[in-house]
Amino acid sequence: MKLTLRVWRQKNADADGAMSTYEVDGISPDMSFLEMLDVLNEQLILSGEEPVAFDHDCREGICGACSLVINGDAHGPERTTTCQLHMRSFKDGDTIDIEPWRAAAFPVVKDLVVDRSAFDRIIQAGGYITAPTGSAPEAHATPVPKADADFAFEHAECIGCGACVAACPNGAAMLFTSAKINHLNVLPQGAPERETRVLDMVAQMDAEGFGGCTLTGECATACPKGIPLMSITSMNKEWLRATRKAAKR
Amino acid sequence: MTSYLEYTTGEPVVDTKAPAGPINERWDKRRFEAKLVNPANRRKQTVIVVGTGLAGGSAGATLAEQGYRVVQFCYQDSPRRAHSIAAQGGINAAKNYRNDGDSIHRLFYDTVKGGDFRSRESNVHRLAQISVEIIDQCVAQGVPFAREYGGLLDTRSFGGVQVSRTFYARGQTGQQLLLGAYQALSRQIAAGNIEMHPRTEMLDLIVVDGRARGIVARDLITGKIDTYFADAVVLASGGYGNVFYLSTNAMNSNATAVWRAHRRGAYFANPCFTQIHPTCIPRTGDHQSKLTLMSESLRNDGRIWVPKAKGDTRQPNQIPEDERDYYLERIYPSFGNLVPRDIASRAAKNVCDEGRGVGPGGQGVYLDFADAIRRMGRKKVEEKYGNLFDMYERITAENPYEVPMRIYPAVHYTMGGLWVDYDLQTTIPGLFAVGEANFSDHGANRLGASALMQGLADGYFVLPATINDYLARHPHRDEVTDDHPVVQEVLAETEDRLNLLLSVDGDRTPDSFHRELGELMWEFCGMARTDEGLRKALDRIPQIREEFWRRIKVPGTGEELNQSLEKANRIVDYLELAELMCLDALHRSESCGGHFREESQTPDGEAARKDDEFGYAAAWEFTGTGEAPTLHKEDLVFEYVHPTQRSYA
Amino acid sequence: MARTVWDSTVGKKTVMAVSGVIMLLYLVVHLYGNLKVFFGLQEIDDYAVWLRNLGQPFMHHMWTIWLTRAVLVVAVVAHAVSAYQLSRRDIEARPSKYVHKKPRATYATRTMRWGGVILGLFIVWHILDLTTGTVHPGGFQDAHPYENIVDTFSTWYGNVIYIVAMLALGLHIRHGFWSAAQTLGVGSRTRDRALKATANVLALLLTAGFISIPVGVMTGLVS
């Protein structure tokens, strides 16, 4: 396959960026999208140009590092991560636009690399269960109904890639935040911190400069792990419940 | 200069920390004997932790909970992305919830036997003891393990054992355990107890007056090289499987932290013990950048086969039952498809070498679920393995519900690593190694679902108990600063190395060297090794190294995000580590676990150990790049599990 | 609590949802009353008089109407101010657009902001036209809705403004009702289809119902 790539190039956080056009040839349909970029980068290095910087690590769809907007879609046309997208999803002669995640809370670091540390700070605000090592009771002391365990797992699957934010026209982090809140709040172990968790995490999400939710559903469509839009509804419910409870105290 | 092959044998290395006495009392005894640090003084003690995987994340969180000041590093943009996240299958624990005869002693026994009698009994027993607490800890953190309808935890049997002791969270156990540790870590970061440095890579170790006192690290965004000082340094930087270029490791997983520590004096043990995982998705071409593992749990229900005839190119569904060779079931009737990883991998290699492999290049075997689907129904199979099947289909564009999967072995885990004593301390006082970075618990072969167990045991329970002893005995009152001549020297060396990489301006990319080294290692130091092949590799590696420094091309500067520079710098270390791996493999002229020497096999092709000659862990001391290292042997004593030739027939 | 709600994006959405539901309830009643126009001058004009005396003798003449107006003003202002502030925030949260443009989301979702502005302007005109009579074509008579309605929908611009606004209203309700349910946390997987269907039915009924009035005037059914 022969492809034309239009790639966002930006020297650093402060520099202005622009799309640059490159041609790549000899692309196999079995290559992953990132392997195709590897081909481009090998080509660039040999011609003395700087290769395109992009985040990637596990290349098996679980670490959440890869983060490209391909032809306007976060992670490209398939419902998966960029690293699990294969070139068989494209045609010979295609022109492909590759851009970084766009959101005020995710400033571009270089080329296609963005800073997602805002996500870490949202987790730090309350996305945990306080259980210092050594304090744990016997694992079978508290049975968890299978339905709750499955609900928790479904939301715990979030890989923190940020595709939800990238796809959201408002740059909102509702789906990411709600996934963690739902994972922990449904479990009996998470109950003692149920209210503070949702209030603090939502407050931190706002403080990071993410937008609000207009329920366009773009986030859930882009999510490579299929976190459902209803996750946000459940979080809203938790938030209202916590706000009422806090008011009573 | 003497030849690299003419290594010398030095004084044996002895683990002075493991107490004597009944094995099940040793850990308690050690914990009691270990000195404690007064809680008020802990805040004044700084511990550096490099890496945020299961071992590093859990260690950082626990040390911070104890009151130490923790300064932690990871090269990823977030501690949540460490490669432990990719572990699929599960985590072992001797809970015996199934009442199927499991016990701490059985897990201990299985692990020692599975490791082919090349691990330390005391360590393995401790691991089995702690396994029970890990599950409690993780459940308390909210790790959503699979549960049964009654609300209790579900378990399954896993790779090479006959009890059901593996706890799992669908096919994403590593992810869930890692996020648990990451969340505990996040809580401590928010509390101000951990100073977290993401996108910062350790490039060297600072050893002052014989003690580890800090590291040199590079901010990957600004390129700034900085020094960080502490009272103790913990390496939790993972394994070195990426020496092979193609492996199931993350693209950026690397050996720099451990190799730099080795160069500064830490012994490197059993570097040739690498694990080849039998169930990976076969490569599709030269463009392949990494390999993807499919959880070994698939072998619980999938049946492995190849055509009986050589060069059979029919579609798998058109090959009748009696023309299929279910070779694992045939050769190992009692364990069948569940034989340990090393055996399954080698068997796959053998049938492919016979010309019976399937798929592109004949480098693959079938893993067939047709029987399982008939037996349990598609829905049940989907429930158990759905995400793995989806992953397979995404990568290969083949539907495993309809056509058998194709699998082939790939480098997955490295049992070798920095030599550590019972306290997980390396031969450099004050330098500890946890998780895959150390060599301690898996011997020559790791059992499935044991890596997560070891990482968390080290991080949550072992290190936080043993590091106290070191810190209590060595309160560092003297500050180390940048002015110290040793620091100046280490800093200058690091800067020079990076500048040199940038200034060569040759005509080959970092990846081209990495790929060349990887192919060499896979061929000669992979699944089967020979004296002749290893000598060839040892001959070739210095040549590649020389060529590397002549022809490497790294564009850009060091004062910015420069992924080529990061890569090239890691390859510098691979080029030295690969040499030690080959030497270790050459010197160990026996077969054991993941290390198979063709010269040492039983008449029916099984690995033949030579316990009298090689019943030791080989700890290597660095003497200089390309210079013959010094071998220090740690004799392994087996008081409880007596070495027998493994038999899975 | 008020502070927590107002300072949070989730809280402000709650304000929008609650005020939206209040306005929606009002619209349903409003439409119900207005449809009396099809039963002739006497019926709807009597209804207008009745409304003015609603609640008597407990309430004074016009008090119920003023109370309703007060609630509606609060709802409109809260809805609009929240929408304005949230929109500004949303735009700031996504300062650079993608070079590769793609139509996203449904039409109803995308038109929430502009639809809201259109509806706001419509309300101003609607009040000046049929409540205060300031811009009413022909002679405005208080408590004579039948005549006033006929006047308004006898002008071409009256029809255009009204019909456009009611179409905007339909789109606004279609996304807004379902969205409010999510914001208030009452949505769920099992209820989602019912909620979406209700939103569609409400949007359709209100739009069709309101548009039927100018159509009635135009076709001479109401004259």
Question: Could you report the average pLDDT of every consecutive run of 10 residues in chain B (649 residues)?
Answer: 88 95 97 94 96 98 98 98 94 96 96 94 98 98 96 86 91 95 98 98 97 98 97 98 97 98 98 95 91 88 95 92 95 88 89 92 93 94 86 92 95 97 98 96 93 98 97 87 96 98 97 97 96 98 98 96 98 98 98 95 87 97 97 97 80
Question: Residue B225: helix, strand or coil by DSSP?
Answer: strand
CA–CA dist A172, C93 (Å, integer): 7
| Residue B559 burial (10 A CB sphere; 0-12, 13-18, 19+) | exposed
Residues B448, B171 contacting (CB under 8 angstroms): no
Residue-wise pLDDT for B222-247, tens only, equals 999 999 999 999 999 999 999 999 99
Q: Which residues of B touch A124 (CB under 8 A)?
A: 186-187, 189-190
Distance CA(B16)–CA(B22), nearest Å, equals: 16
- Alpha-carbon distance B523 to B527, whole Å? 8
Give the CA diameter of chain C.
Answer: 65
Q: What percent of chain C has pLDDT over 90?
A: 89
DSSP 8-state class, residue B88: -
Q: Measured between alpha carbons, how far is residue B227 from residues A28, A69, B214, B491, B563 in Å? A: 44, 36, 7, 8, 21
- Is B153 contained in some domain? no
Q: B536 and B5 in contact (C-beta within 8 Å)?
A: no
Q: What tokens appear for C152 in the block?
A: 């308004």
Q: Is the CB of B290 less than 8 angstroms away from the CB of A60?
A: yes
- Output the pLDDT for position B342: 82
Residues of chain C with Cβ-Cβ distance to A103 below 8 Å are 93-94
| pLDDT over 90 at C40, yes or no | yes
Nearest CA in chain C to A222: C104
Chain B residue closest in CA terms to A135: B137
* Residues 6 or more apart in contact with residue B162 via CB below 8 angstroms: none
Of B412, B428, B450, the domain-final residue: B412
* A230-248 helix and A174-185 helix, angle to the nearest 10 degrees: 70
Percent of chain B with pLDDT over 90: 89
What is the 3-class SS of C57-109, one letter each residue? CCCCCCHHHHHHHHHHHHHHHHHHHHHHHHHHHHHHHCCCCCCCCCCCCCHHH
Query: Which residue in chain C has the smallest CA separation from A174?
Result: C10
- In this structure, chain A runs to a length of 249
B492 and B603 inside one domain: yes
Q: Please give the backbone phi and psi of residue B508, each rounded to the nearest 5 degrees, phi first.
A: -125, 145
Out of A48, A125, A190, the one facing B142 most closely (by C-beta) is: A190
Domain range for B559 is 488-635
> CB distance B176–A57 less than 8 Å?
no
Whether A48 and B397 lie within 8 Å, measured CB to CB: no
**Local structure of B633: helix, strand or coil:** strand
Min Cα distance B471 → chain A (Å) is: 20
- Give me the pLDDT at residue B563, please: 97
Q: How many residues does chain B have?
A: 649
Contact C/B (≥3 CB pairs under 8 Å): no
CATH number for C2-95+105-218 (one of 1.20.1300.10, 2.170.150.70, 3.40.50.150, 3.40.50.2000): it is 1.20.1300.10
DSSP β-bridge partners for residue B5: none
Mark whether B399 and B522 lie in a shared domain: no
Q: What residue has token string 């593996």?
A: B166
Q: What was the pLDDT predicted at A122?
A: 98
Give me the torsion for CA of B371, B374, B377, B379, rounded to 10°: 50
- Whether the CB of B141 is below 8 Å from some CB of chain A: the reply is yes
Among B393, B412, B431, give the residue marking a domain's end: B412
B79 touches chain A (CB under 8 A): yes
Does B1 reach chain A within 8 Å, measured CB to CB? no
- Contacts A–C by Cβ distance under 8 A: 138
Query: Is A133 within 8 Å of B65 when comparing Cβ atoms?
Result: yes
- Which residues, given as ranges, of chain A have pLDDT below 50? none
Answer whether A233 sits within 8 Å of C109, measured CB to CB.
no
Give the domain-ending residue among B350, B385, B412.
Answer: B412
B230 within domain boundaries: no
**A99 contacts C185? CB cut-off 8 A:** no
Exposure pattern of B512-541 as b/e (b: 16+ CB <10 Å)? bbbbbbbebbbebbbbbbeeebbeebbebb
Among chain C residues, CA nearest to A235: C185
Whole-number pLDDT of residue A56: 98
- pLDDT score at B297: 83
The pLDDT of residue B170 is: 85
Question: In chain B, which residues have their Cβ closer than 8 Å to the Cβ of A63?
Answer: 76, 81-83, 85-86, 250
Q: Tokens 């611009």 label which residue?
A: C157
Per-residue pLDDT of C160-204, as tens digits, reads 999 999 999 999 999 999 999 999 999 998 999 999 999 999 999
Question: Any bridge partners for residue A77, and if so which?
Answer: none
- Mean pLDDT within C108-134: 92
Give yes or no: B341 in active site: yes
Residue by residue, DSSP assigns A108-161 as EEETTEE--HHHHHHHHTT-S----TT-PPPGGGS---HHHHHHHHHHHT----
Which one from B324, B341, B406, B446 is the annotated catalytic residue?
Answer: B341
* C-alpha distance from A26 to closest chain C C-alpha (Å): 25
ipTM for the predicted complex comes to 0.98
Q: What is the pLDDT of residue B478?
A: 82
Identify the CA nearest to C79 among candidates C183, C163, C4, C197.
C183
A60 vs B62, B169, B292: nearest CB = B292
User: Tens digits of per-residue pLDDT, A68-116?
Assistant: 999 999 999 999 999 999 999 999 999 999 999 999 999 999 999 999 9
Taking the CA atoms of B606, B607, B608 and B611 in sequence, report the sign of the dihedral they define: negative
Residue B289 with chain A: CB contacts under 8 Å: 32, 34-35, 38, 59
Burial A104-136 (b: 16+ CB within 10 A, else e): bbbbbbbbbbbbbbbbbbbbbbbbbbbbbbeeb
In this structure, what token pair is assigned to residue B476? Answer: 């560092």
Contact B287 A144 (CB under 8 A): no
Does residue C57 have a cis bond before it (omega within 30 degrees)? yes
Mutate to test the interface with A, among B179, B197, B286, B557 (most CBs of A within 10 A): B179
Q: Which chain A residues have a beta carbon less than 8 Å from that of B154?
A: none
The nearest CA of chain C is from the CA of A205 a distance in Å of 9
Token pair of B390 as six digits? 């989806």
Q: What total of structural domains would you count in chain B? A: 2
A104/C94 Cβ within 8 A = yes
Distance (Å, whole) CA B307 – CA B301: 19
User: In what order do the strands lie in the sheet containing B155-156?
Assistant: B91-92, B166-167, B155-156
Q: Which of B77, B182, B221 is facing A65, going by the closest CB pair?
A: B77
Q: Confirm whether B107 is domain-assigned.
A: no
Same-domain pairing of B406 and B510? no
Extract the tokens encoding B276: 């080849």
Asked, for residue B614, whether it belongs to a domain, the answer is yes
Q: How many CB pairs under 8 A join A and B?
A: 221
Give which of C7, C10, C99 to mutate to test A binding, by max A Cβ within 10 Å: C10
Per CB-CB distance under 8 Å, the chain A contacts of B151 are 143-146, 149
Are residues A149 and B152, on separate chains, in Cβ contact within 8 Å? Answer: no
- A104 and C92: CB-CB below 8 Å? yes
- CB B297, CB A40: distance < 8 Å: no
Residue B2: count other Cβ atoms within 10 Å of its Cβ: 10
User: Containing H/E element for A183?
Assistant: helix A174-185
Please classify residue A51 by burial: count the beta carbons closer than 10 Å to its beta carbon, then call 0-12 exposed, 13-18 middle and 19+ buried: buried
**Contact assignment for C182 to A232 by CB distance below 8 Å:** yes
pLDDT of residue C86: 96
Residues sharing a CB contact under 8 Å with residue A40, sequence separation 6 or more, in sequence order: A5, A7, A22, A24, A51, A52
List the domain boundaries for chain C. 2-95+105-218
User: Measured between alpha carbons, how far is A4 from B647 in angstroms, rounded to an integer?
Assistant: 56
Q: Given this model, what pLDDT does residue B285 score?
A: 87
Name chain C contacts of A71, Cβ cutoff 8 Å: 100, 102
Neighbours of chain C (3+ CB pairs under 8 A): A
Three-point CA angle C103, C109, C110, nearest 5° = 50
Burial of residue C71 (CB within 10 Å: 0-12, 13-18, 19+) is: middle
Nearest CA in chain A to B177: A156
For residue B489, what are the CA distances in angstroms to B255, B383, B458, B482?
22, 57, 32, 10
> Can you say whether residue A62 is alpha, beta or left, with left for phi > 0 and alpha for psi between -120 and 50 degrees?
alpha
Residues B537 and B631 occupy one common structural domain:
yes
Evaluate if residue C105 carries a pLDDT over 70: no
Instruction: Tell me the nearest-neighbour CA distance from A116 into chain C, angstroms.
Output: 14
Place of tokens 């199934």: B98
The reply to whether residue A189 touches residue B139, judged by beta carbons under 8 angstroms, is yes
Show which subunits contact B, needing at least 3 CB pairs below 8 angstroms. Answer: A
Per the domain annotation, does B584 fall within a domain? yes
Contacts of C189 in chain A (CB under 8 A): 228, 230
State the DSSP code for B508: B
Give the amino acid at C50. Answer: W
In a domain, B545, yes or no: yes
Domains contained in chain A, CATH given: 3-110 (3.10.20.30), 116-248 (1.10.1060.10)
| In B367-476, alpha helices (H) | 370-376, 378-396, 451-456, 463-473
Looking at the fold, whether B402 and B501 belong to one and the same domain comes out as no
